[in-house]
Structure 1
Amino acid sequence: MITTTKGNMDEALLEKREGQFEDDNESTAWVEYWDGDEMVHRSVHVHLKKPMISTSEIGGFS
């Protein structure tokens, strides 16, 4: 069972689509479940490869 915008649905009734994106800063992967032409669930995982720089670290605050 998967929680969807239409309530809990059996995974076997849905089309599963997966994707990924990667660059120097991040690696992102997602899983989508579709009921016909309507996306009813999406899970996304983002892994940051580098620490983010805040404005306080570059002297943005006095």
Structure 2
Amino acid sequence: MDADGDQEWEEVMGLLSETDGIDMTFNDDASVTLRWEPLADEDRVVEVENAFAEEEPAPF
């Protein structure tokens, strides 16, 4: 975002550069182009949170 400082920008760029499968291109206009290959369905990881596990019983 425009309001973010250089430190925040560097932190985001550092995290993205460490991420496997992301190709970063630094453009002349100071923008960054990210490219990646979509995962095949069998390679996707889905995390499901059990919303009912920590729910308290109804008070009535």
TM-score range, shorter chain: under 0.3
TM-score for the superposition, normalised by structure 1? 0.26
Q: Which has the larger radius of gyration?
A: 2
More helix by percentage: 2
TM-score, normalised with respect to structure 2 = 0.26
- Between Structure 1 and Structure 2, the one with more strand by share is 1
